[in-house]
Amino acid sequence: MSRTKQSLILWATGRLSGSAPLSLPAQGVMVALLEDAKHLPVLAGGGLVGAGSTVFVPESAVLEAPPVPGALVPYGGDGWGLTGELSLGTTFFVQVQKYAVSEYLSILGPTLVRVDDGDDLACFMADADRARAEGVFPAYLTNPVIQLGDQCALGATSDHDGPAWRLHVRADGTCSTSSSGSALGSVTSSLEELSYEWRRRNEASRQPCAVALGDRICEEDRVAMLSSRPWIGRYHVALDGLRQACYHGLINLRVSGFGGSLAESYEPRSTEKTDAPLLMWNEEAAILYDIRTSRLLRMSIEAGRVVDAVLARSIQPATVEPRAAAVLTELARRGMPVLPELASA
pLDDT digit string, tens, across residues 222-235: 999 999 999 999 99
Q: What is the mean pLDDT of residues 261-274?
A: 67
- Report in angstroms the alpha-carbon separations of 69 from 29, 183, 228, 266: 11, 25, 45, 54
pLDDT at res. 66:
60
Last residue of a domain, one of 208, 227, 246: 227
Listed in sequence order, the residues at least 6 apart from 98 whose beta carbon sits closer than 8 Å to its beta carbon are 82, 83, 113, 114, 116, 117, 120
Q: Does residue 190 sit in the same domain as residue 114?
A: yes
Listed in sequence order, the residues at least 6 apart from 26 whose beta carbon sits closer than 8 Å to its beta carbon are 50, 51, 52
pLDDT digits (tens, 9 = 90+) for 127-170: 999 999 999 999 999 999 999 999 999 999 888 899 999 999 99
Q: Does residue 30 sit in the same domain as residue 165?
A: yes
Residue 108 has pLDDT above 90, yes or no: no
Last residue of a domain, one of 227, 259, 289: 227
* Cβ atoms within 10 Å, residue 283: 7
344, 262, 237, 315 alpha-carbon torsion, rounded to 10°: -40
Q: Does residue 82 sit in the same domain as residue 164?
A: yes
Say if residue 154 is exposed, middle or buried (CB neighbours under 10 Å; 0-12, 13-18, 19+).
Answer: buried
pTM to 2 decimal places = 0.90
Q: Does residue 286 sit in the same domain as residue 155?
A: no
Rounded distance, CA 32 to CA 169, Å?
A: 7
Residue 182 has pLDDT above 90, yes or no: yes
pLDDT at res. 322:
74
Q: Does residue 285 sit in the same domain as residue 211?
A: no
- Report in angstroms the alpha-carbon separations of 90 from 59, 78, 87, 96, 217: 11, 15, 7, 17, 34
pLDDT at res. 327:
75
Q: Does residue 70 sit in the same domain as residue 176?
A: yes
Spatial CA neighbour of 328 closest among 306, 298, 295: 306
240, 244, 247, 253 alpha-carbon torsion, rounded to 10°: -90
Residue 273 has pLDDT above 80, yes or no: no
Q: Does residue 187 sit in the same domain as residue 327?
A: no
H or E element that contains 99: none
pLDDT at res. 62:
64
Q: Does residue 202 sit in the same domain as residue 246?
A: no
* Backbone conformation region of residue 207, classed left if phi is above 0, alpha if psi is from -120 to 50, else beta: beta
Spatial CA neighbour of 204 closest among 180, 221, 220, 227: 220
* Cβ atoms within 10 Å, residue 218: 13
Q: What is the mean pLDDT of residues 270-292?
A: 86
User: Which carries the bigger pLDDT value, residue 18 or residue 85?
Assistant: 85
The residues that bridge with 93 in the sheet, in sequence order, are 87
pLDDT at res. 306:
85
Backbone angles phi, psi at 333, to 5 degrees: -65, -35
Say if residue 38 is exposed, middle or buried (CB neighbours under 10 Å; 0-12, 13-18, 19+).
Answer: middle
Q: Does residue 242 sit in the same domain as residue 168?
A: no
Residue type for 184, please? L
pLDDT at res. 343:
45
Residue 269 has pLDDT above 60, yes or no: no
Q: Does residue 213 sit in the same domain as residue 240?
A: no
By residue range, what is the domain housing residue 12?
A: 3-227
Under a CB-based contact definition with an 8 Å cutoff, are residues 39 and 64 in contact? no
Half-sphere exposure of 75 (CA within 13 A, CB side): 27
pLDDT digits (tens, 9 = 90+) for 15-65: 887 655 578 888 999 999 999 999 999 998 899 998 899 999 998 876 565
Q: Does residue 170 sit in the same domain as residue 260?
A: no
Kindly report the average pLDDT of the chain as a whole number: 88
pLDDT digits (tens, 9 = 90+) for 307-328: 888 887 656 666 667 766 777 7
pLDDT band at 344 (very low <50, low <70, confident <90, very high): very low
Q: What is the mean pLDDT of residues 204-214?
A: 96
Residue 339 has pLDDT above 70, yes or no: no
H or E element that contains 331: helix 322-333
If one counts the domains in the chain, the total is 2
Q: Does residue 175 sit in the same domain as residue 76?
A: yes
User: Which carries the bigger pLDDT value, residue 294 or residue 81?
Assistant: 294
pLDDT at res. 42:
93
Rounded distance, CA 243 to CA 35, Å?
A: 30
Backbone angles phi, psi at 112, to 5 degrees: -105, 115
Spatial CA neighbour of 153 closest among 98, 112, 202: 202
pLDDT at res. 78:
80
Residue 342 has pLDDT above 50, yes or no: no
Last residue of a domain, one of 174, 195, 227: 227
